[in-house]
Chain A
Amino acid sequence: MPVPPKEKFDVPRIEEVFSIPAIRVNAMAHSKPFVAKPEHQEALGFPGKLVDGWQDAALDKMEELLGKYRSIRVFLDSCVKCGACTDKCHYYLGTADPKNMPVARQDLMRSVYRRYFTVAGKYFPKLVGAVDLTEDVIEDWYRYYHQCSECRRCSVYCPYGIDTAEITMAGREILSSIGIGQKYANEIIGKVHKIGNNLGLPEPALLDTLGGLEEEVEEDTGASVKFPLDKRGAEVLLVTPSADFFAEPHVDGLIGYAKVFHQAGVSWTLSSYASEAANFGIFIGSYENMRRVAERVREAAIELGVKRIVVGECGHAWRVAYSFWNTLIGPFDFLDPSHPVPQHICEFTHELLNRGALRVNPDKNDDKVVTFHDSCNVSRGSRMGSVPGGQFSIPRNIIKAACNHFVDMAPDTTHEHTFCCGGGGGLLTDDLVELRVKGALPRVQALKQVIDDYGVTHMAAICAICKSQFSKVLPFYDMGMDMVVSVHQLLGDALELDGAE
């Protein structure tokens, strides 16, 4: 049941026709997340609080990043202020704050870059919009680099492929490095370093949860579906976001994966040491933290002696795994080379479906009309399968195999044009609820349209953050939080399992 909004802000109205808002300067200037405590900072190798001489420290860090990342250098130089990106960000569309236009977000850094690192900005600052790195500027960085979900939507439309996510990551890395990191993300990364997952769930609790799931599934289906943990010599190591272990609707997705492994007869295991697919290191732009988080997966895979690594439903985790793991923790010469490394659970399932190895009865989902939310990191930062765009067709094919009624949302809101759920990029925290609700507007708008036109009852997703975010924000728009489902929940529900298996 929809929960009436308690927060003190106006939930945007869903309009019949989507229009680009006129700018409202400083509309979201009050929005900023909690600052990380010293212990959260230090666990990640950052200073505990704002350092003395922070200005020089920030500029030094910026210089370092300019030398380490071609993207940042080229992006800061190349923007022509054409404006093509200005109406592409869901946070701009939902808040109308002009600093949430991608180019304006970049300009927060570009104006400082110009001032200190370019001839034009050194001698003619006014002319080229260069500014000194003052406290006000740093505060704006903290605000607006935490109003970007690093979804890369803007990069699709930019004639030079300028990806604001790269700038946001650099901005956050500089902020963390001078002592003002974001609490939510940095605290979570610390938990992974220490315990192995974002929730800080230790092994016994994990074992307990998985045992509970085995009982639950057996009760429901009669089949003894296993949820193995730390099983040496299993064929597949499944690395999945820890939200899958207990959060709703995520856990039904985990049950779906287990049913697939069960019916396919592929031995698999989870790892208590690498019990997290999420890697918030990407969100804060820290290569080193990202590498450390990923390293656990490599170690666990070697330790357990598996042949393949499969990654569960999670957007940014899949981007890190697919695009970065080989660099961060490769080469994967200890795994079976006849399978892609890593493999997405959807790729895994899709292959089984194609081989006819799964018995699916889509009639079981006849109470649902399903649509699919493309997650930003999967859509614009990774791939599935062997052809470009497999990340769009493969999950849809799974849904279509599992459901008789599937419709897509408007084409300018799906595939590479997909809108972020509004909670990605390390913003899935209660101190940013207003931003999250407003940022969800474009997606919710498209969803409303298919609800009205086709009677859509459920929206499937393949990302733990999307699932949590929608469960939280849909009620603000008078939609049920239980509309959101995992793709593998739909498939799991449609599988014909029998107790004899």
Chain B
Amino acid sequence: MILSAVFSILFYLAFAVFSVGLVKRLLLYWRTPAPLVIPTTPAPLTNIGVAGRLFREVVFFESLFKGSKWTWLFGWLFHFGLLLVLLRHLRYFTEPVWGWVVALQWVGIYAGMVMLVGLIGLLVRRFLVDRLRYISSPSDHLMLLLLIALAGSGLLMKYVWHTDVMALKTFSLGLITFNWAPLPNDPLLLVHLLLVIILLIIFPFSKLLHAPGVFFSPTRNMADNPREHRHVSAWAHAPTTADEKS
């Protein structure tokens, strides 16, 4: 019971840190001016085109594909594995479970393995390539290990040491409805959940900020139209003819 209470509190705390930290960061990005037009060209000329560029960047990792095929492959496998796994986990937070989430369940399992393959590929590259070894700091390795442990513990629960998913669901629904319920007392599950809590807490303070960062990157989110539209920001503009007169 104490354990359940501790985990409940930790989850609320983690969620608070995650959301407040992230919102603060996003506001900071939002409010910081982009004084000059600096898209990496050739770039789309319109905002619709920019939306397309960002879409390709987020969904296909377009630039990374140009940059490194191996990193692209492992990175893409990891991220899209992760996406499916997260969607699969929606079943723990919905009652009744939405139809498409039910339909996704079997894919989600394989996605977990794909995710793990991607992560291990990324970790191996980090050790094997001398250039990557040079630029990696402990946090870069630990981040991968954390995610590997997270995916690994999840898969182990599916295949080896099962946990009581119904009780877990009661617990997670209880968290969102403030109707607290006990957590199954499985060490593997506790490890899995603890890793989730850690991930949520470090998100706004780590390189995981790349996820929102890509949308704010001026080389990707600006349209190439400086001759047609005069770009000005709070501090960067010339005294215009009008200003001079006033």
**A contacts, CB < 8 Å to B:** 20, 22-23, 66-71, 73-75, 77-88, 98, 101, 103-104, 107, 118-120, 124, 126-129, 152, 155-163, 166, 287, 291, 295, 298, 322-324, 326-331, 333-334, 340-342, 379-383, 387-389, 391-392, 416
Q: Which chain A residues border B38 with CB–CB below 8 Å?
A: 71, 163, 166, 323, 381
**A82 engages B71 (CB within 8 Å):** yes
**A98 engages B131 (CB within 8 Å):** yes
Q: Is B162 an interface residue (CB 8 A)?
A: no
Candidates B43, B61, B132; contact of A159 at CB < 8 Å: B61
**A391 engages B236 (CB within 8 Å):** no
> How far is it, in angstroms, between the C-alpha of A84 and the C-alpha of B227 when the chains are bound?
32
Contacts A82-B64, A287-B236 known; 11 new A-B pairs at CB < 8 A: A66-B32, A73-B32, A74-B29, A127-B139, A162-B219, A295-B238, A323-B226, A324-B37, A327-B230, A379-B41, A416-B41
11 A-B contact pairs sorted by A residue (CB < 8 Å): A71-B217, A71-B219, A74-B217, A83-B68, A83-B135, A127-B137, A128-B137, A160-B210, A326-B230, A328-B238, A381-B40
**A82 engages B139 (CB within 8 Å):** no
**A68 engages B231 (CB within 8 Å):** no
Give the interface segment out of B89-97, B189-197, B201-209: B201-209
Task: Say how far B32's CB is from chain A's closest CB, in angstroms.
Answer: 4
**A126 engages B42 (CB within 8 Å):** no
Q: Which chain A residues border B88 with CB–CB below 8 Å?
A: none
> How far is it, in angstroms, between the C-alpha of A205 and the C-alpha of B2 when the chains are bound?
88
Which of B43, B67, B209, B218 counts the most A-chain CB atoms under 10 A from its CB?
A: B67
Q: Which chain B residues border A88 with CB–CB below 8 Å?
A: 67
**B218 engages A77 (CB within 8 Å):** no
> How far is it, in angstroms, between the C-alpha of A81 and the C-alpha of B32 when the chains are bound?
24
Knowing A69-B35, A129-B137, A163-B219, the reply to whether A82 touches B231 (Cβ < 8 A) is no
Q: Which chain A residues border B206 with CB–CB below 8 Å?
A: 120, 128
Q: Which chain A residues border B45 with CB–CB below 8 Å?
A: 387-388
Q: Which chain B residues border A68 with CB–CB below 8 Å?
A: 32-33, 35, 235-236
Q: Mark B24-41, 1 if CB is under 8 A from A, else 0.
A: 010011001111111011
> How far is it, in angstroms, between the C-alpha of A186 and the C-alpha of B125 when the chains are bound?
42
Q: Which residue of B lies closest to A412 (CB)?
A: B66
> How far is it, in angstroms, between the C-alpha of A291 and the C-alpha of B227 when the chains are bound?
17
Q: Mark B212-242, 1 if CB is under 8 A from A, else 0.
A: 0110111110001011011110011110110
Which of A103, A156, A327 counts the most B-chain CB atoms under 10 A from its CB?
A: A327
Q: Which chain A residues border B61 with CB–CB below 8 Å?
A: 159
Knowing A70-B216, A73-B28, A120-B206, the reply to whether A155 touches B40 (Cβ < 8 A) is yes
Q: Which chain B residues border A20 with CB–CB below 8 Å?
A: 131
> How far is it, in angstroms, between the C-alpha of A86 and the C-alpha of B72 when the chains are bound?
14
Task: Say how far B228's CB is from chain A's closest CB, in angstroms.
Answer: 8
Which of A66, A152, A295, A331 counts the most B-chain CB atoms under 10 A from its CB?
A: A331
**A78 engages B207 (CB within 8 Å):** yes
**B213 engages A160 (CB within 8 Å):** yes
**B41 engages A381 (CB within 8 Å):** yes
> How far is it, in angstroms, between the C-alpha of A172 and the C-alpha of B240 when the chains are bound?
28
Task: Say how far B195's CB is from chain A's closest CB, in angstroms.
Answer: 17
Q: Which chain B residues border A380 with CB–CB below 8 Å?
A: 40-41
> How far is it, in angstroms, between the C-alpha of A298 and the C-alpha of B75 when the chains are bound?
48
Task: Say how far B132's CB is from chain A's closest CB, in angstroms.
Answer: 4
The 6 closest A-B pairs by CB, nearest first: A157-B67, A84-B67, A78-B213, A129-B137, A161-B219, A388-B42
Which of B37, B40, B126, B229 counts the most A-chain CB atoms under 10 A from its CB?
A: B40
Q: Is B44 an interface residue (CB 8 A)?
A: yes
Q: Which chain B residues border A71 with CB–CB below 8 Å?
A: 34, 38, 217-219
Number of A-B contacts (CB under 8 A): 222
Q: Which chain A residues border B25 with CB–CB below 8 Å?
A: 77
Q: Is B99 an interface residue (CB 8 A)?
A: no
> How far is it, in angstroms, between the C-alpha of A166 and the C-alpha of B241 when the chains are bound?
29
> How far is it, in angstroms, between the C-alpha of A160 and the C-alpha of B214 when the chains are bound?
5
> How far is it, in angstroms, between the C-alpha of A51 and the C-alpha of B18 when the chains are bound?
41
Task: Say how far A297's CB is from chain B's closest CB, in angstroms.
Answer: 11
Q: Which chain B residues border A162 with CB–CB below 8 Å?
A: 217, 219
**B40 engages A163 (CB within 8 Å):** yes
Q: Which chain B residues border A327 with CB–CB below 8 Å?
A: 35-37, 226, 230-232, 236-238
Q: Which chain A residues border B238 with CB–CB below 8 Å?
A: 291, 295, 298, 327-330
Q: Is B136 an interface residue (CB 8 A)?
A: yes
Q: Mark B162-199, 1 if CB is under 8 A from A, else 0.
A: 00000000000000000000000000000000000000
Task: Say how far A103's CB is from chain B's closest CB, in angstroms.
Answer: 5
Task: Say how far B242's CB is from chain A's closest CB, in angstroms.
Answer: 9
Q: Which chain A residues border B66 with CB–CB below 8 Å?
A: 156-157
Knowing A69-B35, A70-B29, A74-B218, the reply to whether A86 touches B135 (Cβ < 8 A) is yes
Knowing A157-B63, A326-B226, the reply to whether A78 touches B42 (Cβ < 8 A) is no
Q: Which residue of B lies closest to A22 (CB)?
A: B130
> How far is it, in angstroms, between the C-alpha of A157 and the C-alpha of B63 when the chains are bound?
5
Task: Say how far B137's CB is from chain A's closest CB, in angstroms.
Answer: 3
> How far is it, in angstroms, between the C-alpha of A156 and the C-alpha of B65 when the chains are bound?
10
> How far is it, in angstroms, between the C-alpha of A82 and the C-alpha of B76 when the chains are bound?
12
**B207 engages A87 (CB within 8 Å):** no
> How far is it, in angstroms, between the C-alpha of A322 and the C-alpha of B35 when the chains are bound?
15
Task: Say how far B38's CB is from chain A's closest CB, in angstroms.
Answer: 7
Q: Is B48 an interface residue (CB 8 A)?
A: no
> How far is it, in angstroms, between the C-alpha of A157 and the C-alpha of B69 when the chains are bound?
11
**B63 engages A388 (CB within 8 Å):** no
- For window 96-141 of B, CB contacts with A under 8 Å fall at 125-126, 129-132, 134-140
Task: Say how far B109's CB is from chain A's closest CB, in angstroms.
Answer: 27
Knowing A82-B68, A327-B238, A340-B227, the reply to whether A160 touches B217 (Cβ < 8 A) is yes
